[in-house]
Structure formats: structure tokens, C-alpha cells
């Protein structure tokens, strides 16, 4: 039996543009018969510039939505994985990052202050996976190929023209991992995209390993 996962989901606790709290987001995906979601809250300079306290306290503030979602997921039997939607300071591109955990974030502060080259060194050292979100959305440009493992070939956010046809063509032409995601912020966004996984994964690391061996898994667009 194939299992539906949404790998691009936001929470109102952490993403300023999010309208749904982490726990409720999990409930909505449970009702939509998804096996799991990845919380990819926005990791960018504006968030951390509003934070106070130690770096550990700032990381825990960033993870608040994920932690609330994780707790509700454990109650309902929905897998809740951790990811990031990373934007480097002074740029407009967004990158979905998988394979991270709290310890990685604690030991590598302010990833938003790096650039693709410097962050790419961390990616290789820690075997992370980087997928560019909505790479052909107006105002953005495709990141360097040597930095990317994949592209989001379908972004279901209804308030943006993500030009998914161009992203799909680009992913196919360059043999990249291809994701179909909802980019969920509001009620109208939920369960608009998914990956159909061949087996259940419970951590972001397990997801990375699966995607490297199954690079084309898009399953659902609505």
C-alpha cells in the first residue's frame, strides 16, 4: 500500500504567513488520509531578528510549530518530520532542506547568513538533501545545479503562479529529485499535493534515504 506524505507544510507558530497552528494542521492531514507531513517553516533573517535569548532559545522558538505538530501527530498516528524552508539573507530563493534535526540546528547557527556555496559544504558533510521550492515563481531564479538535489515540480499554493510546468520540465531534463507539495499555509492549501511513498518513514533522515533511491514520487495534485 502506498502512503501519502506532504513535504512542504507551515505552521502559524513559526511561519509569519502561516494561518494554521501545528496541531490543527496535523488534524487536517489526518482527516485527508495522509500518513505524514514535513514541517518546513520559514527559516530566514526576519524570523531570527525578532527573537531574543540564547541561540538554544531561538532554535526552540523556531521549532515551536513543529513540536506542537509532532505531539498531535503522535496522538493521531500521523508521522511528523522536520525540515526547513531556508532563504539566504539578501536573496529571494527558497530551499527545502531535509535531514536536519534539533542538534544540527543548535550546532550550526544562522544558516540564513550563509550562501549556497558555504551551506553546500554543510549539506555534503551532513548528507542533507536540498530541493528548491517553486523555482520558477516570479521573482526567483533556479539555484546552481551543483547545489541542488531536486526541485519542487508541483507547488499547490493557490495564491501564487509557481509555473509548475517549467519546474517539471527542468527536473526531468536534469535528472533531479522531483517533489509535489501543497506549500500549505491556510485551509485552502491543505492536501493539494503529495508524494506517494512505498513505505512509512518516521524521520527526516529516513525520508532523505528514500528520496535518493526513489527520485520521482509525485502522486497527488488538486
| Contact (Cβ atoms closer than 8 angstroms) between residue 58 and residue 48 | yes
Q: Which residues contact 10 (CB under 8 A, 6 or more apart)?
A: 17, 18, 20, 25, 39, 40, 41, 42, 65, 85, 183, 184, 185
pTM: predicted TM-score of the whole model, two decimal places: 0.95
- Residue, of 179 and 218, whose pLDDT is higher: 179
Instruction: Supply the Cα-derived Rg of the chain in whole angstroms.
Output: 16
| Contact (Cβ atoms closer than 8 angstroms) between residue 153 and residue 181 | no
For residue 8, give the CATH number of its domain: 3.20.20.140
| Contact (Cβ atoms closer than 8 angstroms) between residue 52 and residue 69 | no
pLDDT single digits (tens) 157-203:
999 899 999 999 999 999 999 999 999 999 999 999 999 999 999 99
In angstroms, what CA-CA distances link 42 with 76, 88, 154, 155, 199?
Answer: 25, 11, 19, 16, 28
Q: How far apart are CA 95 and CA 10, in angstroms?
A: 14
Separation of CA 195 from chain center: 13
pLDDT at 103 over 70: yes
pLDDT at 111 over 90: yes
pLDDT of residue 216: 76
pLDDT single digits (tens) 121-153:
999 999 999 999 999 999 999 999 999 999 999
pLDDT at 222 over 90: no
| Helix, strand, or coil (residue 185) | coil
Overall average pLDDT of the 45-62 stretch: 96
Structural domains counted in the chain: 1
pLDDT at 221 over 80: no
Domain that holds residue 172: 3-221
Cell 500549505 appears where?
184
**Exposed e or buried b for every residue in 67-77, given b needs 16+ CB within 10 A?**
bbbbebbeeee
Pick from 50, 207, 29: which is nearest to 131 by CA?
207
Pick from 128, 16, 4: which is nearest to 65 by CA?
16
Amino acid at each position: 500500500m502506498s502512503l501519502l506524505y506532504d513535504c512542504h507544510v507551515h505552521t502559524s507558530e513559526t511561519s509569519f504567513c502561516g494561518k494554521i497552528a501545528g496541531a490543527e494542521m496535523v488534524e487536517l492531514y489526518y482527516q485527508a488520509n495522509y500518513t505524514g507531513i514535513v514541517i518546513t517553516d520559514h527559516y530566514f533573517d526576519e524570523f531570527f531578528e525578532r527573537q531574543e535569548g540564547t541561540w538554544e532559545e531561538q532554535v526552540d522558538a523556531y521549532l515551536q510549530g513543529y513540536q506542537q505538530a509532532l505531539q498531535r501527530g503522535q496522538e493521531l498516528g500521523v508521522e511528523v518530520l522536520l525540515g526547513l524552508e531556508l532563504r539566504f539573507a539578501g536573496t529571494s530563493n527558497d530551499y527545502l532542506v531535509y535531514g536536519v534535526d534539533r542538534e544540527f540546528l543548535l550546532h550550526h547557527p544562522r544558516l540564513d547568513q550563509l550562501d549556497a556555496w558555504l551551506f553546500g559544504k554543510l549539506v555534503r558533510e551532513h548528507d542533507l538533501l536540498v530541493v528548491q521550492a517553486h523555482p520558477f515563481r516570479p521573482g526567483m531564479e533556479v539555484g546552481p545545479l551543483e547545489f541542488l538535489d531536486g526541485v519542487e515540480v508541483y507547488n499547490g499554493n493557490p495564491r501564487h503562479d509557481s509555473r509548475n510546468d517549467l519546474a517539471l520540465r527542468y527536473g526531468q531534463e536534469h535528472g533531479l529529485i522531483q517533489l509535489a507539495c501543497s506549500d500549505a499555509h491556510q485551509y485552502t492549501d491543505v492536501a493539494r499535493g503529495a508524494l506517494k511513498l512505498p513505505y512509512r518513514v518516521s524521520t527526516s533522515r529516513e525520508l532523505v534515504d528514500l528520496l535518493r533511491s526513489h527520485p520521482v514520487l509525485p502522486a497527488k495534485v488538486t
